[in-house]
Structure 1
């Protein structure tokens, strides 16, 4: 067997990164865990790759993503000295065909693990508004089908129902329903004959449904899949000239990136959302600047984070009433964003106070999923500042509602409880809370 030639291309990237062998292996393992495929690579494996041994095909995208995040620029297979994978299709699929393909894969249980393994990309190319506005491929359904505004209203109503299910129970069961509805009903409607006004309204409705499906994929930890739904939503929003939904999706992409700890793309998406926002009132200004503040804080930009959160608070004060919130944005959401900014900037105690204010301001229309997630965050931060009994009481509240929830994000918080409380086994309340969490996870 011939000895492979050293991979000089990979070596250049490695030197540019400034990492040690161990640090590169740890980052690849972390991204694997993020994708749902935990890995246990160590220094010898990285050393072998640099010497010319080719990494497994499934691991190569993780290596590229690791360098992309470190170097803050896209890194290709060729640049890393890896063979370029064959593309599935030379031609770019139409928006409708791409949506159909994505939804069908998502619906198919045999393909679920493949779709779910798609990797979150910090270098994702997002279509600009001028590139997608008014653009929609001419499509033919192959059979006579004509739609009207009543069909648009039905799609909007169904999207609202799916969103309600997601808010109440989590996205694990609601998302496959949304994917099936996209494939079986909405995609054929996008191919149907209709007056221009109806066609644009249908594309707008489909755009928001695609966004919601992506949002629920985030709830399941399927971050690469979520990005694919978001991109389709952006294309449809542009095609229907729906500025509002286009901004909404970009903001959702920033939320996703910020929650994963990727400050640079979170800022990029939040700023892009704000830059293309249509003229609007103070509530939407708060909706956008609140997320900008969180993104800046995650990126370590203290000055811009504090500036943006002050803008958010001022805009919300100018809003006429608490009714008609945009995207669910309310004074309670402002308090949550203040909490996230404070925590990202190192003020854990202030973050706890802001989260407690958030719960005082919430009302019955707020999402049950976010209630459990934010209460879990509150408990973790209460423990972080040494308030053990307060943290346990907050966790007890989470655990009393947890059996009805089907959310991977909530699951991940609950799974942390035993390890976090393990050092406090001498405390009866901590011991009982830990044991209750273990029982809940076993059910």
Structure 2
């Protein structure tokens, strides 16, 4: 379908971006690829939209998100001259409560037949992220469930299960652990949230549920389901506010910033990292290092070299203080800080420095973090190759392949798929050829080039 007249609203947005027709089409295609539904629009398609042709319904969210990312603000369908679609043709449904939203998310995640639905959610730069004052105490007391009362033993159950799920994620990847987390959320945690109990117990339960929602969102990021991850992260913020848990609230914001910076959305990552830091005035040195390291990475990505180096220095000072107080296993540690140092150096064009810092991160990392080890060794190999060290890169990729079969991660699969393209031009080199052939036998078949 099309209209008989040019789409003046779309034209205004298009002119505001300063794009060429080709650049607009490429931006839409990038988001389609990110979502897992690649599109192949070209300049003539954009020209047709300007002339009044209505894009396909499934393409409109991609177009709106492309405009939002370029302009740095939300862009509604009506602003682009697209019809506003209301499910069922009636009044728009009321927003779900936090508990109902968790059920909706979890049930989707638990059902393998619905996995394709999860992939269509878009990472949105225009997502409305609540501030700490907006969420404190906002969630009303939950309805009475089957149980008559909850106690601290129930809170400890949720916390212990979250720790176990986190360990599974570290070792085997998000694809393996997330369905288990979703089932636990729906079948165990939601009934707890709907059960009465003393105020301190209910706050502790909501805090524990917030931790689990954050972890489940992080697992979704690991699979590349960025829209789904954002939904889990928002529920984690709501629950953290309801329980007045400042630490988890800041941790979630920082996690959202990590997601954004890894997708190349520097301004969004910077805003979220700054929000996390601003919401944690009483943070201890380890948490301060945790937050400052992310601020440094985001600042480097947007080209703010001075701020990036200052934040990195702040993270290093805070880490020294934290380590002097004793090591805390499983939290932000020197390996994590070295990773941030590598990312900052890489964003600033110092690839050799980035390689040295990533090598240090690999040396310091605890052995149980298998998924992180594989992912970051793949990144290290890419950067070693970029500095001309082909044999070193092949050796590092080989180390990543040692652990790869035990990890089920979308992010790592993408790195391995990229590896084939990076190695192919060097296939006459003995080390490169050996790696290529080994990878063909090791990497999941659907990732191996024909």
TM-score (norm 1): 0.97
Query: How many Å apart are 1:341 and its aligned residue?
Result: 0.2
Aligned position for 1:54: 54
Alignment of 1:349-360 (within 5 A): 349-360=352-363
Aligned position for 1:410: 412
| In structure 2, distance between residues paired with 1:361 and 1:109 | 37
Gaps of 5+ in 2: 446-450
Alignment of 1:243-262 (within 5 A): 243-262=246-265
- Closer, same or farther: CA 362–273 of 1 in aligned 2, 3 Å: same
1:165 equivalent among 152, 164, 168: 168
How many residue pairs were aligned?
442
| In structure 2, distance between residues paired with 1:164 and 1:309 | 28
Aligned position for 1:44: 44
Query: Runs in 1 of length 4+ with deviation above 6 angstroms?
Result: none
Residue 199 (str. 1) matches residue 202 (str. 2):
yes
Aligned position for 1:341: 344
Aligned position for 2:427: 425
Residue 300 (str. 1) matches residue 303 (str. 2):
yes
Alignment of 1:187-266 (within 5 A): 187-266=190-269
Residue 119 (str. 1) matches residue 122 (str. 2):
yes
1:87-115 CA distance string (max 9 Å, x none)? 58532221111111111122222322112
Query: How many Å apart are 1:173 and its aligned residue?
Result: 1.6
Aligned position for 1:19: 19
Tell whether the 8 Å contact from 2:3 to 2:53 is kept in structure 1 after alignment. no
1:254-296 CA distance string (max 9 Å, x none)? 0000111100010010000000114132111111100000011
- Closer, same or farther: CA 440–279 of 1 in aligned 2, 3 Å: same
Tell whether the 8 Å contact from 2:145 to 2:191 is kept in structure 1 after alignment. no
- SS in structure 1 opposite 2:78? coil
Tell whether the 8 Å contact from 2:370 to 2:403 is kept in structure 1 after alignment. no
- Closer, same or farther: CA 357–71 of 1 in aligned 2, 3 Å: same
Residue 29 (str. 1) matches residue 29 (str. 2):
yes
Query: How many Å apart are 1:146 and its aligned residue?
Result: 1.4
1:375 equivalent among 373, 377, 384: 377
- Closer, same or farther: CA 351–3 of 1 in aligned 2, 3 Å: closer
Residue 151 (str. 1) matches residue 151 (str. 2):
no
Tell whether the 8 Å contact from 1:68 to 1:74 is kept in structure 2 after alignment. yes
Tell whether the 8 Å contact from 1:169 to 1:369 is kept in structure 2 after alignment. yes
Tell whether the 8 Å contact from 1:247 to 1:274 is kept in structure 2 after alignment. yes
Aligned position for 2:132: 129
| In structure 1, distance between residues paired with 2:2 and 2:19 | 29
Query: How many Å apart are 1:320 and its aligned residue?
Result: 4.1
- SS in structure 2 opposite 1:79? helix
Tell whether the 8 Å contact from 2:355 to 2:384 is kept in structure 1 after alignment. yes
- SS in structure 1 opposite 2:267? helix
- SS in structure 2 opposite 1:319? helix
- SS in structure 1 opposite 2:224? coil
With 192-201 and 354-363 compared, the bigger mean Cα shift is at 354-363
Tell whether the 8 Å contact from 2:142 to 2:196 is kept in structure 1 after alignment. no
Tell whether the 8 Å contact from 1:95 to 1:137 is kept in structure 2 after alignment. no
- SS in structure 2 opposite 1:118? coil
Tell whether the 8 Å contact from 2:266 to 2:298 is kept in structure 1 after alignment. yes
- SS in structure 2 opposite 1:90? coil
| In structure 1, distance between residues paired with 2:78 and 2:216 | 33
- SS in structure 2 opposite 1:229? helix
With 81-90 and 60-69 compared, the bigger mean Cα shift is at 81-90
Aligned position for 1:310: 313
Over aligned residue pairs, what C-alpha RMSD do you find? 1.6
With 275-284 and 334-343 compared, the bigger mean Cα shift is at 275-284
Alignment of 1:66-105 (within 5 A): 66-86=66-86, 89-105=92-108
Query: How many Å apart are 1:159 and its aligned residue?
Result: 0.5
Gaps of 5+ in 1: none
Query: How many Å apart are 1:116 and its aligned residue?
Result: 2.1
1:43-80 CA distance string (max 9 Å, x none)? 11111111111111111011011011111111110110
1:335-390 CA distance string (max 9 Å, x none)? 1100000001111011001111112222334x111101110000000000100000
